[in-house]
Chain A
Amino acid sequence: MIEIRTAEQLNKKYIREAMWPTIFCNGCGHGVVLEYTFWALEELGWDMDKVVFASGIGCSSRLPGYINADGLHTTHGRAIAFATGIKAANPDLNLVVFTGDGDCSGIGGNHFIHAARRNIDMTVIMINNFIYGMTGGQLAPTAPLGSIATTAPYGNIEPPFDICNLAKALGANYVARWTVTHPYQPIKSLKAAMQKKGFSLVEFMAPCPTAYGRRNKLGDIKKQWEWYDNNTIIIEDYERIMNYGSEKEKEEIKDMFPIGVFQDIDKPGFFGKYEELVNRVMGKEHKPSKKAVKKVVTSK
């Protein structure tokens, strides 16, 4: 086995070449997330026969097609429910779900909430580009206030969804948010997320120059990528300022997106608990030992 050092070697190993080229536009962040995922998988050294990628509908949901592994490209918003079934049928498989902000927090919100609550063993990689890109730029539930979309031509008046804080509140084992402009931390996070038992979420903020950046006058691709650096703040700094900072400091960061690891805990995953349940009802556990039986007899 050759040691992989370059992106070229990495792609050769993980990409489903026959599906190339991708459907993605210039400046899109999805390919970057795919690359980070490959690095994380390479570092984990996982057998790709035992990793299944599921997705719903949208640009991000095309990603499993480009990976040389089993992939289930499902219906809009439902990937997490499909993945739950795959995992139930074969708990030896590692499940990774690629989803977008509309797919995950809009139409698929209910499945997301319940999978996180049940702590279903899977890693959800949500790519948030603030917009329904594939269909031409309609308003997404994550779009910041004032965003222009084809279905919000006068500016968005709805408060956006914070999917990381939602997952955290539901008790997901691992929750992190990064932007595609940070190369190292996301790979570390993806690795941590995929190794976790239970439910993990990694949200990526990624530019959609075609459907979001252009309409919202974020400038050329370089400027759009810079936008992410200028509008995000490390979560530890965010919390420190919000707790102890001056009013002026708070005002400066209040509209910024906190990035980093939101939650990292180790509650048992659903399928581990289900296996325990099966063992219990099948009588494989809790058989009274001879000693215990004796005790009952002597107490008579």
Chain B
Amino acid sequence: MRYKRDPKLIRKVLGNDVQFILGDMACVYGGLLAGCSFFGGYPITPASEVAEGMARLMPRVGGTYLQMEDEIGSIAAVVGASWGGAKSMTATSGPGFSLMMENYGFAMMTETPCVLVNVQRTGPSTGQPTLGAQGDMMQCRWGSHGDYEAIALAPSTVQECMDFTVEAFNLAEKYRNPVCVMTDGEMGHLRERIVIPDEKKLKLIDRVEATIDKDKYIPFTKSQTRDSKVPDFPTFGTGYHTYVTGLTHDERGFPATDKQKDHEKLVKRIVEKITDDADKLIKVEKFNLDDSDTVFVTYGASARPAETAMDMARKNGKKVGLFSLKIVWPFPEKIISKLAKNVDKIIVPEMNLGQIVHSVKEASNGNCEVVSAPKIGGEMHLPQELMRYLEGKYK
């Protein structure tokens, strides 16, 4: 029994076009719309509703839900499923995300498309399980050992939780890379109205499968059929007899662990297939940038109080704008750099002690003042608190 995406069935299982649902559930909807047919997960607050939703709906669309023994096994099964030809995903929160780091790196090294939803909670360690945070933004970029390029999206609404999960699958399939949806406890447990897009409006990307002659096929090099650094995908069972390893490998996929050149060539291609497209991967929402001298640069749940603070400040005649990052990694360095030249001050509200602010500082390169506006402890910023930053009161 192999899964085949059936749009009519999926729409029937999801129900009404307009619904009032949890952010976690919206990630489930996004996965199913994208054609995800394997979910491997392990219960963890505040991400458990994703697993519960998948357990309920996945069999009804003919896919597989598996509750694995732990998060290490979850992502391993997700990567395996992808090689078996499925679009696959998992969902977790901080402690589970930490456990997934090794095989997240394996997915990078083996160029495996898959999606990780991280409903972030406070840390370090067990922290505050039920409360939201944005403390894993750097972990998703740098958490696994070695060099790689992460792709991460950060939804600010429940609608975006669904849309960005679809988008995450598209990017994963396009670049053959694991993609993270970095939501958080606030988003995950928030109920909002969503509109499920029409099948015709839904843009889905599927991996390019290898079709070339088996004798001529080279699995780990730039595409042999297109102008792309992303190789065509030799799904297991299609007769390509591919050897896939997390060891440094040559173009044939064979271990090449003692050769500097092979490693450099491989890892640079894995990184460049994404950095070459960095300009295409920019996804931001801009508010009032034309006349602003002060701008909030933020993402995810933190964009919501920042928007309110901006509106309040504007009513008082202050020229404040908002720059909400929807794709956080790869970091939109060029546009932040340009922004820094046009404004006096950038304020970066985050639900951590300052993570993305470092990338903002790096990109702005001293051209404007960059202020971190951290808040931890499982509460979102109040707009009033952000107003104080506008007044120059940073503590």
Which residues of chain A have a CB within 8 Å of any CB of chain B? 16, 18-19, 48-50, 52, 54, 64-65, 68-75, 78, 81-93, 110-111, 113-114, 274-275, 277-278, 281-282
**Complex Cα distance A65/B3, Å?**
29
- Across the two chains, which residue of chain B brings its CB closest to A93? B237
Which residues of chain B have a CB within 8 Å of any CB of chain A? 1-3, 37-38, 40, 59-60, 62, 64, 66, 68-70, 72-74, 76-86, 88, 102-103, 106, 234, 236-247, 252, 254-255
CB of B25, distance to nearest CB on chain A (Å)? 18
A-B contact pairs, 25 of them (CB 8 A): A16-B241, A18-B254, A69-B241, A70-B236, A70-B243, A71-B244, A73-B245, A73-B247, A74-B103, A75-B106, A81-B68, A81-B77, A81-B80, A84-B66, A85-B83, A89-B37, A89-B88, A90-B237, A110-B70, A111-B73, A114-B68, A114-B73, A277-B59, A278-B1, A282-B62
Nearest 10 Cβ contacts at the A-B interface: A89-B84, A85-B80, A85-B77, A81-B76, A85-B81, A89-B86, A73-B245, A82-B80, A81-B73, A114-B69
CB of B366, distance to nearest CB on chain A (Å)? 42
**Complex Cα distance A66/B76, Å?**
23
- CB contacts (< 8 Å) of B59 on chain A: these are 274, 277-278, 281-282
B73 touches A78 (CB 8 A): yes
B243 touches A65 (CB 8 A): yes
Indicate the member of A16, A89, A274 with the most B CB atoms within 10 Å: A89
A281 touches B60 (CB 8 A): yes
Question: What would 18 more interface pairs be, CB under 8 Å, given A89-B88, A93-B84, A111-B76?
Answer: A52-B84, A52-B237, A65-B245, A65-B254, A70-B241, A70-B242, A71-B244, A73-B244, A73-B247, A74-B79, A75-B246, A85-B84, A86-B80, A89-B82, A89-B86, A91-B1, A275-B1, A281-B59
CB of A169, distance to nearest CB on chain B (Å)? 17
B237 touches A70 (CB 8 A): yes
**Complex Cα distance A275/B3, Å?**
11
A72 touches B80 (CB 8 A): yes
Knowing A50-B237, A72-B83 touch, does A78 contact B245 (C-beta < 8 A)?
no
Knowing A89-B82, A93-B84, A282-B62 touch, does A74 contact B254 (C-beta < 8 A)?
no
- CB contacts (< 8 Å) of A52 on chain B: these are 84, 236-237
Indicate the member of A84, A92, A114 with the most B CB atoms within 10 Å: A84
CB of B63, distance to nearest CB on chain A (Å)? 8
Knowing A78-B72, A281-B60 touch, does A90 contact B79 (C-beta < 8 A)?
no
CB of B174, distance to nearest CB on chain A (Å)? 19
- CB contacts (< 8 Å) of A281 on chain B: these are 59-60
**Complex Cα distance A65/B252, Å?**
11
B38 touches A110 (CB 8 A): no
**Number of contacts between A and B (CB, 8 Å)?**
156
- CB contacts (< 8 Å) of B64 on chain A: these are 88-89, 274
- CB contacts (< 8 Å) of B3 on chain A: these are 89
CB of A12, distance to nearest CB on chain B (Å)? 15
- CB contacts (< 8 Å) of B69 on chain A: these are 81, 110-111, 113-114
**Complex Cα distance A274/B237, Å?**
21
**Complex Cα distance A208/B378, Å?**
53
- CB contacts (< 8 Å) of A114 on chain B: these are 68-69, 73
B255 touches A85 (CB 8 A): no
A65 touches B73 (CB 8 A): no
- Across the two chains, which residue of chain A brings its CB closest to B68? A81
B244 touches A72 (CB 8 A): yes
B60 touches A90 (CB 8 A): no
- CB contacts (< 8 Å) of B88 on chain A: these are 85, 89
- Across the two chains, which residue of chain B brings its CB closest to A49? B239
B77 touches A88 (CB 8 A): yes
**Complex Cα distance A88/B106, Å?**
19
**Complex Cα distance A2/B37, Å?**
40
- CB contacts (< 8 Å) of A72 on chain B: these are 80, 83, 236, 244
**Complex Cα distance A11/B246, Å?**
26
**Complex Cα distance A58/B248, Å?**
15
CB of A63, distance to nearest CB on chain B (Å)? 11
**Complex Cα distance A49/B84, Å?**
12
CB of B11, distance to nearest CB on chain A (Å)? 15
CB of B55, distance to nearest CB on chain A (Å)? 11
A86 touches B60 (CB 8 A): no
- CB contacts (< 8 Å) of A90 on chain B: these are 2, 84-86, 236-237
- Across the two chains, which residue of chain A brings its CB closest to B60? A281
CB contact between A88 and one of B38, B238, B252, B255 (< 8 Å): that residue: B38
- CB contacts (< 8 Å) of B103 on chain A: these are 74-75, 78
Knowing A65-B245, A75-B246, A92-B2 touch, does A84 contact B80 (C-beta < 8 A)?
yes
- CB contacts (< 8 Å) of B80 on chain A: these are 54, 72, 81-89
- Across the two chains, which residue of chain B brings its CB closest to A94? B237
- CB contacts (< 8 Å) of B83 on chain A: these are 70, 72, 85-86, 89
CB contact between B76 and one of A49, A75, A277 (< 8 Å): that residue: A75
- CB contacts (< 8 Å) of B1 on chain A: these are 91, 275, 278
- Across the two chains, which residue of chain A brings its CB closest to B9? A282
- CB contacts (< 8 Å) of A71 on chain B: these are 242-244
Knowing A70-B237, A89-B82 touch, does A82 contact B246 (C-beta < 8 A)?
no
CB of A23, distance to nearest CB on chain B (Å)? 9
- CB contacts (< 8 Å) of A277 on chain B: these are 59
